[in-house]
Chains A and B, each alone.
Chain A
């Protein structure tokens, strides 16, 4: 591993740009850290920290100039690989003839700067959705091939983080071209840099660096351990699928539904949510039509609409669908849990519903002897008569 400084990192960013990459990274806008185009390290949220809790997101100034002293905001990298609106094709009509026009393949090269471990895991989860089944999404594949990942190890998880429970962090293990660990103190501001691909190796070789010493590596280990041990939230995952499958009729879902606004924020900020809809639109002449794919959410009323009515018309059914899918049915579909523990759904829920708390509540509901729902009660009802 190498040690580089901030100017060297800027050189790496220049290097990426000269190779034709658009730099995309965290930057501050509207009092949040979002992912957008950046030019250099100066565009990063230098010296800023995020404070997150259920329904709350605030930025505070740090007392140092760390470049990556925060975790994740409302944006996920999925917005670049799986865009919120995408044209699938357009059709032109000429009398009774129709001509199909495919959009040009997306050849843009994108460098994601500052990707966290949970986000790398989320990207690999979405890879599976869009390329791991019987059908592949060709535009997704194209964007994936043109992606460069500059990852960053998290040193200070937010209060809403629980990546360790999901085996998704905080340390970046693979899936990157370059990975950095920021070392900042009163007398230094450096990065431990490791390459994870030939391209990353090349870029690292082209800048000034020194070999990491054993105390650098020890410092890195300490930071990683501290981060891993300071998660404020956790989820017991060993039996998560069975737990949720057993409790589809739990009274807890009704409790959650009393609070949930079905605003769909959680699905918008979630880095693994992949639901979309397809819209066909025409122009006024009636001779041109486009098919668009747009992000969708299982929380909308007409997501499950069939002739006769929506299958999931109650908020309870929709919340249950989202949470059960994320934590349980995803395992049957994709052989892994669909959640990476990034905590965004907790932070960005306007009423502060906490998925980790809900799992615990459902588990608690099983062990209490009191009946939790109508079914338990009626089972007992006919067992014995009453003695006089």
Chain B
């Protein structure tokens, strides 16, 4: 087992996966690091991968004309960055920028999609793990939208 494999396998997303799935996914990974304020991906670009954040923090942003980049949410170690690689047309919906010096493990999305397609059991197990995280993010975003701290008369 490589050092990289050890690092991401311990993540809840992957722990307990059958070894053959782990093996196939591991062929798509590599380490990546970003400086503070460095752009990780930009809205509209091809979304061909996702990141598992190891160290540091990442901000999701939307560029609003006249306002500049508006931060929507931040993500930290252990969290997954990037879903658009799973859904056509495979283009990023937002910007992602490293807030502090950040290290991630990058998974090659196109290859992972192919793995899912050719090994449906791995695909099913992985999607079952991704889904709760996405749902939880959606619910959190809705709560965030409530603006609960706003003082109301």
Tell me, rounded to whole Å, the shortest Cβ–Cβ distance linking A328 to chain B: 22
Interface string of A307-325 (1 = CB under 8 A from B): 1111101000000000000
A359-388 residues with Cβ-Cβ distance < 8 A to B are 374-375, 378-379, 381-386, 388
Q: Which of B37-45, B127-135, B142-150 contacts A (4 or more CB under 8 A)?
A: B37-45
> B residues within 8 A CB of A375?
42, 45
Q: State whether B2 touches A388 (Cβ < 8 A).
A: yes
Q: How many residues of A contact B (CB 8 A)?
A: 18
| Known A309-B66, A310-B66; contact A382-B45, beta-carbon cutoff 8 A | no
> B residues within 8 A CB of A381?
32, 49, 106
Tell me, rounded to whole Å, the shortest Cβ–Cβ distance linking B101 to chain A: 16
Q: Which of B13-21, B54-62, B108-116, B117-125 contacts A (4 or more CB under 8 A)?
A: B108-116
Interface string of B27-48 (1 = CB under 8 A from A): 1111110000011111001101
Q: State whether B106 touches A382 (Cβ < 8 A).
A: yes
CA distance A206 to B39 in the complex (A): 71
Tell me, rounded to whole Å, the shortest Cβ–Cβ distance linking B5 to chain A: 8
Q: State whether A374 touches B42 (Cβ < 8 A).
A: yes
CA distance A382 to B46 in the complex (A): 10
> B residues within 8 A CB of A388?
2, 4, 26
CA distance A203 to B29 in the complex (A): 82
> A residues within 8 A CB of B67?
308-309
> B residues within 8 A CB of A382?
48-49, 106, 108-110
- Asked if A306 is an interface residue, CB under 8 A from chain B, the answer is yes
Q: Taking CB as reference atom, which chain B residue is nearest A374?
A: B39
Q: Taking CB as reference atom, which chain B residue is nearest A249?
A: B42
CA distance A386 to B29 in the complex (A): 6
> A residues within 8 A CB of B29?
385-386
| Known A306-B66, A308-B67; contact A383-B40, beta-carbon cutoff 8 A | no
> B residues within 8 A CB of A310?
66
Q: State whether B42 touches A385 (Cβ < 8 A).
A: no
Q: State whether A311 touches B66 (Cβ < 8 A).
A: yes
Tell me, rounded to whole Å, the shortest Cβ–Cβ distance linking A233 to chain B: 34
- Asked if B68 is an interface residue, CB under 8 A from chain A, the answer is yes
Tell me, rounded to whole Å, the shortest Cβ–Cβ distance linking A245 to chain B: 17
Q: State whether A308 touches B66 (Cβ < 8 A).
A: yes
CA distance A250 to B102 in the complex (A): 24
> A residues within 8 A CB of B26?
385, 388
> B residues within 8 A CB of A307?
66
| Known A375-B45, A385-B30, A385-B108; contact A311-B40, beta-carbon cutoff 8 A | no
Q: State whether B65 touches A311 (Cβ < 8 A).
A: yes
> A residues within 8 A CB of B111?
385
Tell me, rounded to whole Å, the shortest Cβ–Cβ distance linking B102 to chain A: 13
Tell me, rounded to whole Å, the shortest Cβ–Cβ distance linking B147 to chain A: 20
Tell me, rounded to whole Å, the shortest Cβ–Cβ distance linking B130 to chain A: 17
CA distance A375 to B41 in the complex (A): 8
Q: Taking CB as reference atom, which chain B residue is nearest A314?
A: B68
Q: State whether B42 touches A383 (Cβ < 8 A).
A: no
Tell me, rounded to whole Å, the shortest Cβ–Cβ distance linking A16 to chain B: 52
Q: Taking CB as reference atom, which chain A residue is nearest B47?
A: A382
CA distance A378 to B39 in the complex (A): 9
> B residues within 8 A CB of A384?
108
Which of A311, A374, A383 contacts B108, CB < 8 Å? A383
Tell me, rounded to whole Å, the shortest Cβ–Cβ distance linking A374 to chain B: 4
| Known A374-B38, A375-B42; contact A385-B27, beta-carbon cutoff 8 A | yes
> A residues within 8 A CB of B46?
379
> B residues within 8 A CB of A308?
65-67
Q: Taking CB as reference atom, which chain A residue is nearest B40?
A: A378
Given contacts A375-B45, A381-B32, 4 further A-B contacts (CB under 8 A): A311-B66, A374-B39, A383-B108, A385-B111
21 A-B residue pairs with CB within 8 Å: A307-B66, A308-B67, A309-B67, A310-B66, A374-B39, A375-B45, A378-B40, A378-B41, A378-B42, A379-B46, A381-B32, A382-B108, A382-B110, A385-B28, A385-B29, A385-B30, A385-B107, A385-B108, A385-B111, A386-B29, A388-B26
What residues make up the interface of B, taking CB atoms closer than 8 Å to A?
2, 4, 26-32, 38-42, 45-46, 48-49, 65-68, 106-111
The 9 closest A-B pairs by CB, nearest first: A309-B66, A386-B30, A382-B49, A382-B48, A308-B66, A374-B39, A385-B28, A385-B108, A388-B2
